[in-house]
Amino acid sequence: MSETYKKLALQYSGSNWSFSSARVWEAVIEADPSPQNLMLYAEQLRLTGQYSKALALLDQVAPGSIPKDAQYLLPLRRGLIYQDSGHLKEAILAFQEMTTFQPEETYPYVYLAVALSSQERLEEASSVLKTALQKHGDLDEVWYNLGLIQARMGQWRQAISSLEACLKLCPDFPHARTWLDDLEHLTQKGPGSLADDQALPGATLDLT
């Protein structure tokens, strides 16, 4: 019965959320309060802005009850809730914890860098992404976000190199070509060009 409820709940999640879908999810949890179901329900609550309730659900998940290769999911879910609700300090701590569970993968470092950059801690975010370049995973994503951070810091030559590295790995990476073309145009010598160490406005990090 819990699997039937679960399938129904997933059909009415995200943009299809309603009072009835909440009732179905509560039935899923009542029938099977497993860590997986608690985290799935918490994610749906996050997507609909119910942050306090989502965190309360995650508090019911004992870290030891999650398989070792999935333990990173708990700090990830918490970090996303804190980030979406504007609690960036707590999000940073959660993403830092996630790197301890997946130290050789790129994506925890990208999440951490995005949170740091949201607090204008650009040097730290840049350092985190440079660490991620030594890991396994989506290096094109790392190069892209590093390029945007470098642009925000006024390191536009380094930003161009990073975006080129991104496109070398993934020629169709979203927005990378546009940012690279804009940087190359703005850094050409002449009226209106960027000077050394002049930050490029409008560069925001992206989790693709």
Task: Report CA-CA distances (Å) from 124 to 139, 150, 172.
Answer: 18, 12, 28
123 and 52 both lie in a single domain: no
Task: Specify whether the CB–CB gap between 200 and 186 falls below 8 A.
Answer: yes
pLDDT digit string (tens) for 141-200?
999 999 999 999 999 899 999 999 999 999 999 999 999 999 988 887 544 455 554 555
Q: What does pLDDT average to over the chain?
A: 85
- Residue 97 CA, chain-centre distance (Å), reads 14
4 and 98 both lie in a single domain: yes
For the chain, what is the domain count?
2
Q: What is the pTM of this model?
A: 0.81
Task: Give the domain extent around 20.
Answer: 1-103
Euclidean distance between CA atoms 168 and 162, whole angstroms = 10
Task: Specify whether the CB–CB gap between 83 and 115 falls below 8 A.
Answer: yes
125 and 202 both lie in a single domain: yes
Three-state DSSP state, 207: coil
CATH number for position 129: 1.25.40
